């Protein structure tokens, strides 16, 4: 490369100065990968059917498993007849509590390092804790033989009184110990008194139903034992936690459980540790053979928890100009006694709007049911339905445009903590969205727009999701003498583009081509990675990779020595480009990694660092926000609702890959359409049995339900996060149901406060 080439190249690489005052090392040079719509690097494997999912792992002598589920909610197994099943063709064994290996109790989420959905023992005694609990596992040579034999197991029960009706149980609702570590009651001033005295008042109850996880990939575990080491091929969004927890359950050392999960066919909070992985490992141990346990769709409903139901009160007190004197958001969610997931629906109200007085309170009531769990934006998805519907009701009563109302109550700082926002551009998201959506064409008078049978309306709502960071994730970065780099961390690829975005980042950070970067992930033997939850994996992984890259660059400068054009330069005086390092301003001082390593006679240089503790979370209120716009048509004769257009306008920091981000936002919004219009787990309150445990009867949105979804974003970096990015996996579902409900009100004048908004409610 000539001097002139180097100088021309240097001109193309504009130092990244987008982050003044950044608390994380900025990219020192931009090479055009971060921020561009790079296609998924795993895309070819996926469309060619070569990505191997947990249920597709071939093993010699593999046995297939089927589950028998309890048919009562609480009590004991009285009799258990397995002889007919054991005698059926192809059956290797039937495992019940009588012959299952003795196992330790799982640890539930929020209990130390627990990642289990429930802390109940798995198949250790005759006790039944929910309707659908596994009472037997049949292992056979084929899946059909296992399924047939499972139908031959007969069980009788001694039923005990069970609490399965929410309406009766909620009288005993109580404060949980905490809501994700926060107090269940937060009060500022006297909100009830301020509400009673307000000139304008809204006071309504909103209800949201149970929801089930319906990832396209069924939950599955393919397992084998190598002596006392368990090899677990799992579909999981928490590889490290699963390995550690399964080791505890089987009384093993952590390194005796190896979890592999390179591809996951969708995970929205439900791909954690449930009983099926434990049952598969226990049955495999008992049989002395490898086992595949892929849950049927019905079994997913019986064994994997979903979102719980909520009943929420939102009461707003306002003056004529919209100023809020009182913001009350309270209510009850159902939970089991064996988990800690209270569906934090009051969280949005803690951070979104200015008010003089707050009362935010959550209670739980315990039911005898399968433990509920996290599902895409737990809390915020259903909490924004209530809060943002109530704000729309207030705006209508006040005669103020709903966007203008939100402008008037925009807080200068976090309204309950008093902390500064790390970055918040919600009003810009509203302004940009309103212009693009054509909000000015909305007639605020309900029912004023009709096209044939269809009443047309527009609605808007705020979406919000916190910036979470979980400590304890690391990454290893190795730069080889051939000028290629490999990053290794036990991260997860559930279809969102994890590997792609991390490769973009490393390529930019080290000045490499995308093809020269390999991202190793999906194995518990790799350095501990962030879990794919809380929309936190991308930023957490970035932080660990940044720390590792800084260490690698420092080491390279040491290795470069006095004979290098880089002699004497410190890490903050160099930029990475063209497969090497250069002086930040004097482009003539440049040396490739290959040259540095060759002179130093090194095959590679490597560093493994942990993400620094995210101390900024203590100082700032860190949340993403969105302005969600819906246009609906409501059929005046049938009550059918069609979402005609949708726009999500997001403020989520810097967007690292517009292509994968668009898909994340759209996917969230599509789930929000299901939340608004179609999805509900039908729970028989007499028996505690889920009645619609199938995709035929649990209605997720299908193509015909999903209109053109437009997404835009502010792309304004958050100065306090790695690369200025915040998570984007969950925010799309938030605000969506309220935007649709508010559009339905604008179309019809009918305010529906119970989800889902099915057509019967509009007739
Ligand atoms: Mo999410 S509910 O943290 O997968």
Rounded to whole angstroms, how far apart are CA atoms 667 and 648?
A: 11
Structure tokens at 377: 């934006």
Closest atom, ligand 1, to C-alpha of 378: 2
What pLDDT was estimated at residue 24? 56
Helix, strand or coil for residue 552?
Answer: helix
What pLDDT was estimated at residue 612? 86
Rounded to whole angstroms, how far apart are CA atoms 558 and 26?
A: 22
> Taking a C-beta distance cutoff of 8 angstroms, is the pair 45, 52 a contact?
no
CATH code of domain 61-161+220-266+271-303: 3.90.1170.50
The question of ipTM being above 0.90 is answered as yes
Quickly count helices (H) and strands (E) in the chain.
19, 31
Share of the chain above pLDDT 70, in %: 96
Query: Choosing from 311, 388, 631, 730, which is the catalytic residue?
Result: 730
305 lines ligand 1 (CB under 6 A): no
521 lines ligand 1 (CB under 6 A): no
Phi, psi of 533 (to 5 degrees): -155, 160
Burial classification of residue 560, based on how many CB atoms lie within 10 Å of its CB (0-12 exposed, 13-18 middle, 19 or more buried): buried
Q: Around 315, how many Cα atoms within 13 Å sit in the side-chain half-sphere?
A: 21
Query: CA dihedral defined by 172, 176, 179, 185, rounded to 10 degrees?
Result: 70
Helix, strand or coil for residue 82?
Answer: coil
Residue with tokens 């979804």, as numbered in its chain = 709
Rounded to whole angstroms, how far apart are CA atoms 137 and 154?
A: 13
> Taking a C-beta distance cutoff of 8 angstroms, is the pair 507, 31 a contact?
yes
Rounded to whole angstroms, how far apart are CA atoms 200 and 195?
A: 9
The CA–CA distances, whole Å, from 640 to 470, 675, 689 equal 43, 16, 29
Q: Catalytic annotation on 160?
A: no
Packing angle, helices 658-677 and 380-398, rounded to 10: 70
Q: What are the beta bridge partners of residue 206?
A: 312
Whole-number Å distance, alpha carbon 630 to ligand 1 midpoint, is 24
Whole-number Å distance, alpha carbon 271 to ligand 1 midpoint, is 9
376 lines ligand 1 (CB under 6 A): yes
Rounded to whole angstroms, how far apart are CA atoms 699 and 681?
A: 9
Structure tokens at 146: 């296992």
Closest atom, ligand 1, to C-alpha of 237: 4
289 lines ligand 1 (CB under 6 A): no
Residue 461 C-alpha from the chain's centroid: 21
Helix, strand or coil for residue 486?
Answer: strand
Positions of the chain with pLDDT lower than 50, given as ranges: 1-22
Structure tokens at 355: 């008010």
Q: Which CATH architecture has domain 376-468+618-762?
A: 2-Layer Sandwich (3.30)
- Per DSSP, 20 falls in state T
Rounded to whole angstroms, how far apart are CA atoms 329 and 316?
A: 9
Q: Which of 217, 216, 210 is nearest to 370 (CA)?
A: 210
Pocket perturbation via mutation, ligand 1, pick of 109, 269, 383, 671 by most ligand atoms within 8 A of CB: 269
DSSP H stretches of helix in 425-572: 426-437, 498-510, 537-560
Element (H, E) at 667: helix 658-677
Q: Classify each residue of 419-432 as buried b or exposed e, where b means 16 or more C-beta atoms within 10 Å of its C-beta.
A: eebbbbbbeebbbb
Helix, strand or coil for residue 284?
Answer: helix
Residues of the chain with CATH 3.90.1170.50: 61-161+220-266+271-303
Rounded to whole angstroms, how far apart are CA atoms 280 and 554?
A: 46
What pLDDT was estimated at residue 83? 98
What pLDDT was estimated at residue 453? 97
What pLDDT was estimated at residue 27? 57
Structure tokens at 496: 């969102």
Query: CA dihedral defined by 627, 628, 629, 631, rounded to 10 degrees?
Result: -170
Burial classification of residue 490, based on how many CB atoms lie within 10 Å of its CB (0-12 exposed, 13-18 middle, 19 or more buried): buried
Q: Can you list the positions of beta strands (E) in 545-622?
A: 574-577, 580-583, 590-592, 604-610, 620-621
Q: Which CATH architecture has domain 3-44+470-613?
A: 2-Layer Sandwich (3.30)
Query: CA dihedral defined by 579, 585, 590, 594, rounded to 10 degrees?
Result: -30
Q: Which of 29, 25, 15, 32 is nearest to 723 (CA)?
A: 25
* 572 Cβ contact list (under 8 Å, min separation 6): none
534 lines ligand 1 (CB under 6 A): yes
Element (H, E) at 595: helix 593-599
Phi, psi of 339 (to 5 degrees): -150, 180
Burial classification of residue 362, based on how many CB atoms lie within 10 Å of its CB (0-12 exposed, 13-18 middle, 19 or more buried): buried
Closest atom, ligand 1, to C-alpha of 269: 4
Residues of the chain with CATH 3.30.365.10: 3-44+470-613, 376-468+618-762
Which protein residue has the closest C-alpha to ligand 1 atom 4?
269
> Taking a C-beta distance cutoff of 8 angstroms, is the pair 626, 700 a contact?
no
Phi, psi of 165 (to 5 degrees): -105, 120
421 lines ligand 1 (CB under 6 A): no
648 lines ligand 1 (CB under 6 A): no
Closest atom, ligand 1, to C-alpha of 535: 3
Whole-number Å distance, alpha carbon 496 to ligand 1 midpoint, is 13
Q: For the chain, how many residues are written?
A: 763
Q: Which of 561, 550, 549 is nearest to 601 (CA)?
A: 561
> Taking a C-beta distance cutoff of 8 angstroms, is the pair 189, 356 a contact?
yes
């Amino acid at each position: 490369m000539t001097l002139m080439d180097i100088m021309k190249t240097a001109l193309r690489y504009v130092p990244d100065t987008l982050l003044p005052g950044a608390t994380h090392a900025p990219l020192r040079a931009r090479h055009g990968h971060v921020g561009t719509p790079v296609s998924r690097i795993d895309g070819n494997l996926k469309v060619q059917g070569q990505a191997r999912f947990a249920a597709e792992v071939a093993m010699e002598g593999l046995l297939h498993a089927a589950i028998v589920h309890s048919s009562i909610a609480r009590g004991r197994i009285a009799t258990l007849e397995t002889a007919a099943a054991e005698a059926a063709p192809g059956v290797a064994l039937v495992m019940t509590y009588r012959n299952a290996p003795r196992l330790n109790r799982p640890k539930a989420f929020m209990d130390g390092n627990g990642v289990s959905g429930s802390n109940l023992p798995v198949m250790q005694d005759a006790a039944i804790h929910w309707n659908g609990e596994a009472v037997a596992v049949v292992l056979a040579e084929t899946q059909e033989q296992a399924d047939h034999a499972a139908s031959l197991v007969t069980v009788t029960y001694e039923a005990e009184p069970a609490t399965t009706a929410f309406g009766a149980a909620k009288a005993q609702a109580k404060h949980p110990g905490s809501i994700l570590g926060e107090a269940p009651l937060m009060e500022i001033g006297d909100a009830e008194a301020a509400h009673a005295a307000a000139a304008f008042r809204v006071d309504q109850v909103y209800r949201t139903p149970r929801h089930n996880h319906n990832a396209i990939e069924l939950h599955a575990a393919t397992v084998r034992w190598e002596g006392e080491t368990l090899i677990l091929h799992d579909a999981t969004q928490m590889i490290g936690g699963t390995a550690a927890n399964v080791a505890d359950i089987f009384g093993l050392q952590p390194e005796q459980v190896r979890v592999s999960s390179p591809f996951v066919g969708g995970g929205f909070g439900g791909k954690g540790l449930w009983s099926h992985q434990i049952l598969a490992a226990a049955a495999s141990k008992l049989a002395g053979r490898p086992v595949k346990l892929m849950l049927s769709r019905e079994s997913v409903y019986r064994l994997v928890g979903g979102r719980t139901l909520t009943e929420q009160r939102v009461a707003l007190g306002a003056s004529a100009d919209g100023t809020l004197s009182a913001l009350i958001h309270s209510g009850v969610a159902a939970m089991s006694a064996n988990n800690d997931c209270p569906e934090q629906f009051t969280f949005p109200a803690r951070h979104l709007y200015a008010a003089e007085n707050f009362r935010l309170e959550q209670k739980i009531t315990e039911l005898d049911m399968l433990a509920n769990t996290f599902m895409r934006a737990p809390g915020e998805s259903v909490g924004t339905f209530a809060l943002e519907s109530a704000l729309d009701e207030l705006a209508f009563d006040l005669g103020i445009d709903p966007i203008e109302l939100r402008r008037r109550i925009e807080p200068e700082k976090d309204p309950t903590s008093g902390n500064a926002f790390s970055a918040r551009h919600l009003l810009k998201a509203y302004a940009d969205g309103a212009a693009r959506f054509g909000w000015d064409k909305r007639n605020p008078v309900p029912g004023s727009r009709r096209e044939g049978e269809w009443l047309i309306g527009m609605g808007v709502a705020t979406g919000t999701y916190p910036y979470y960071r979980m400590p304890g994730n690391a990454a290893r970065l190795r730069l080889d003498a051939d000028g290629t780099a490999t990053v290794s961390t036990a991260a997860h690829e559930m279809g969102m583009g994890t590997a792609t975005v991390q490769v973009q980042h490393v390529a930019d950070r080290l000045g490499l081509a995308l093809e020269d970067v390999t991202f190793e992930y999906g194995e518990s033997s790799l350095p501990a990675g962030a879990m794919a939850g809380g929309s936190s994996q991308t930023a957490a992984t970035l932080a660990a990779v940044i720390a590792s890259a800084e260490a690698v660059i420092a080491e390279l400068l040491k290795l470069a020595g006095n004979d290098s054009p880089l002699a004497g330069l410190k890490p903050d005086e160099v930029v990475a480009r063209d497969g090497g390092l250069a002086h930040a301003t004097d482009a003539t001082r440049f040396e490739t990694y290959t040259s540095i390593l060759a002179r130093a006679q090194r095959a590679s240089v490597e560093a493994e660092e942990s993400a620094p503790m995210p101390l900024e979370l203590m100082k700032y209120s860190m949340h993403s926000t969105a302005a969600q716009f819906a246009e609906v048509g409501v059929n005046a004769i049938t009550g059918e609702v069609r979402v005609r257009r949708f726009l999500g306008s997001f403020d989520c920091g810097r967007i690292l890959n517009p292509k994968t981000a668009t898909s994340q936002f759209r996917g969230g919004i599509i789930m929000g359409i299901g939340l608004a219009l179609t999805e509900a787990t039908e729970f028989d309150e007499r028996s505690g049995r889920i009645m619609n445990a199938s995709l035929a009867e649990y209605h997720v949105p299908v193509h015909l339900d999903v209109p053109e979804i437009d997404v835009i974003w502010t792309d304004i970096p958050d100065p306090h996060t790695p690369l200025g990015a915040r998570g984007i996996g969950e925010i799309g579902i938030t605000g969506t149901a309220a935007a649709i409900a508010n559009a339905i009100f604008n179309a019809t004048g009918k305010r529906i406060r119970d989800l889902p908004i099915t057509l019967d409610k509009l007739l």
